[in-house]
Amino acid sequence: MKYEHYFKHCIETKSSFLCTGIDPDPERLPDGFSRDVQGIYEFVHEIIQITADLTPAYKFNLAFFELWGWKGLRILEKLLSEVPKNILLLADAKRGDIGNSSKFYARALLEELPFHAATVSPYLGSDSIRPFIEDENKGAFVLCVTSNASGRELQEHGGEKPLYVKTAEIVQELNGKKNLGLVMGATKPEQLLDIRKQFPELPFLIPGVGSQGGGADTALAVCRENGFGLINVSRGILYPSEGTFPDNVRKLTENYNHLFSNKDN
């Protein structure tokens, strides 16, 4: 199935724009899980078991697996194989290189691993993006407006046409196969609304809601405009401040699934 169709199918199947971020910090695991690679595997395995029916997408942050070297990559492969169908698998890898390096990064994430899409840095230009979108069944989200505060140092540089607008223009030009989107942080609602207005057809991956303080209302509004986006929640689901695991995680996921419904209530 083409990437665009599979993306929309996953959202429609779960009736939500929720993306559950998988950031397994060993220091924050609930009681009963060891603070090692086996504990990470068991924790994420349990997360998938209790949330798979509620989330249309998982975003795996590769840093939390690469931390463990080959053992981390081994459990990542195993966990990905355990995810049910009708769930979009995103590699939060933020790759950004050119030539064979970019080509091999794309092959590693989208061929050797079963990810449907990856996050990509555009700083090296379109050459760093193209290898991830050659296959119309795979895709990428390009960093445009990130949720961290210091992202403004580069992304808003450039006067009347800041760098983030130029990034969106490049993505629009490259999106002939409808398998490209933008990472747009919810912590910067003015830019989020501005880019949605200028590029109404591009899908957004929106981090920053929850622990980082981004507003859910604006994120939901821009996803509903074209029915084609994801709102990521990582720590806000994985590490509840109240309740007992796994019931508290299940409850939070239910709440976010409903909050980010793709249907007007």
pLDDT the model gives residue 212: 63
pLDDT of residue 160: 83
Mean pLDDT for all residues in the chain: 95
The domain spans of the chain are: 3-259
More confident residue, 185 or 264: 185
Q: Would you state the pLDDT for residue 213?
A: 62
Is omega for the bond preceding 56 within 30 degrees of 0, making it cis?
Answer: no
Residue 263 confidence (pLDDT): 85
pLDDT at 17 over 80: yes
Report the distance separating Cα 131 and Cα 5, nearest Å: 20
Look up the CATH superfamily of 3-259.
Aldolase class I (3.20.20.70)
CA 108 to chain centroid, in Å, comes to 18
Cα separation, 31 vs 40, in Å, equals: 12
**Virtual CA dihedral for 54, 84, 74, 146, nearest 10 degrees?**
-40
- Distance of alpha carbon 55 from the chain centroid: 12
Section 23-33 average pLDDT: 96
Reply yes or no on whether the pLDDT at 99 is more than 70.
yes
How confident is the model over 107-162, as pLDDT tens digits? 999 999 999 999 999 999 999 999 999 999 999 999 999 988 898 878 888 888 99
What is the reported pLDDT for 211?
A: 62
Residue 42 confidence (pLDDT) above 90: yes
Q: What is the pTM for the complete model shown? A: 0.96
Query: What is the predicted pLDDT for the residue at 91?
Result: 98
Q: Is the pLDDT of residue 72 over 80?
A: yes
Catalytic residue selected from 2, 8, 71, 94: 94
Q: What is the DSSP letter of 215?
A: -
Residue 189 reports pLDDT greater than 80: yes
Q: Which residue, chain included where needed, has tokens 């980082």? A: 212
How long is the chain?
A: 265
Tokens of 121: 């840095």
Cβ atoms 144, 184 nearer than 8 A? yes
94 part of the active site: yes
The mean per-residue pLDDT over the stretch 214-235 comes to 92
Average pLDDT over residues 220-230: 94
pLDDT of residue 16: 98
